[in-house]
Amino acid sequence: MKIHVLLGAWAACTAVLILTFLLRPVEARPPASRGEDTDAGAAGPKFSAEAAAIFGKRCTACHTYGRGIKVGPDLKGVTERRKRDWLVRFIHGSSIVIKSGDPTATALFAEFKQQRMPDWIDLSDPQINNILDYIAIGGPDIKPQDEHDAASAAPADIERGRQLFYGLTALRYGSQACATCHTVQGGMRGGSLGPDLTQVYFRYQDKALTYFLRQPCFQWQMGESTDVYLTPKESFAIKSFLRNVALQNRAALSLFEKTRGGGSQ
C-alpha cells in the first residue's frame, strides 16, 4: 500500500507542476528594449536593428530604396511624400484604407496594377514608426555594423565577442549564448550538439557569416518573434572573436607543421 501512496503523491506533484506550467502567463520581451538599440552610435541616432531586420524581411520583396519601382513604389523619400499617420494606417491595413476611398490610396492602387500591399496587422505602431524612422534617416543606405569586416575589429571587440560566445555577457534579445551548443578549438567549455566553430570564419568568409549570424539557430521561445537574434554590434563582436579563433588555430597549425618538418629533417 505504501507504494500506492508514494506513487499517488508523485503523480499529484507532477500534475500540479504540469498545471502550473500550463497556466503560467506567457512572458513577452520587455517592449522598451525592442525599439531602441545600443548600436545607435554606429548608424545615427534612430537606427534600429529590429527595424532594419523587419524592413529587410517584409518590405524589400516589393520595394526598393532609391532604385526605382519594383512591385510597389520606391520608398526613398516616402516619409516626406506622405504624412506619418497615413503611412502607419496604410502599412497596418492598406485594404481598409483603399476601401475607405482615400484618394492617395486608390490612386496608388490603380497606378500599381491593383496590386494590394499585405496588411501588416501584426506590426505594432511603435514598430511601424521605427521602420519609418529607419527609412527617414536613409537606413537602407547605411551599412550596419555587423557588415563591417571583422579584420577591422579592435581587441575590445574580440574580447566582447568571447564573452558573448560563452554567455559571460547576456545577449540583448535574450538569445542563448553560442557555447550552449557550439565550442571552439575542441574546448570542453562549449557544447557539442552543434559543430565546432573554430574554422567557421574561413569556411564561410566574412559576408556569409554576417548573414548566417542574423538567423536564429533555434526558435526556442514559444510565440516569440524571431526577427531579431543579435544586435549588429553583438554580431560583429562574435564574428571578430570567431575570426581571431580561426587565425590562432591557423597559426598553431602552421607552427605545428613547421616543428614537425624541422624535426623530420
Min dist CB 176 to other proteins, Å, is 6
Min dist CB 127 to other proteins, Å, is 24
* Cβ-contact 127, 51 below 8 angstroms: yes
Q: Is residue 251 part of the contact set for other proteins (CB under 8 A)?
A: no
Min dist CB 17 to other proteins, Å, is 6
The secondary structure of 46-95 as a DSSP string is T--HHHHHHIIIIITTT--SSS--SSS---TTHHHHS-HHHHHHHHH-HH
Q: Is residue 163 part of the contact set for other proteins (CB under 8 A)?
A: no
Q: Is residue 222 part of the contact set for other proteins (CB under 8 A)?
A: yes
* Cβ-contact 149, 206 below 8 angstroms: yes
Selected range binding other proteins among 62-70, 130-138, 139-147, 175-183, rule: CB under 8 A: 175-183
Q: Cell match 519609418: residue?
A: 132
CA-based nearest residue to 99, from 116, 113, 111: 116
Among 44, 56, 77, 167, binds other proteins (CB under 8 A): 167
| Distance linking the first and last C-alpha atoms of the chain | 79
CA-based nearest residue to 113, from 69, 68, 57: 69
* C-beta of 14 vs 115, nearer to other proteins: 14
Q: Is residue 193 part of the contact set for other proteins (CB under 8 A)?
A: yes
Q: Is residue 16 part of the contact set for other proteins (CB under 8 A)?
A: no
Q: By CB under 8 A, name the binding residues for other proteins.
A: 3-5, 7-8, 10-12, 14, 17-18, 20-22, 167, 176, 180-181, 183, 188-193, 218-222
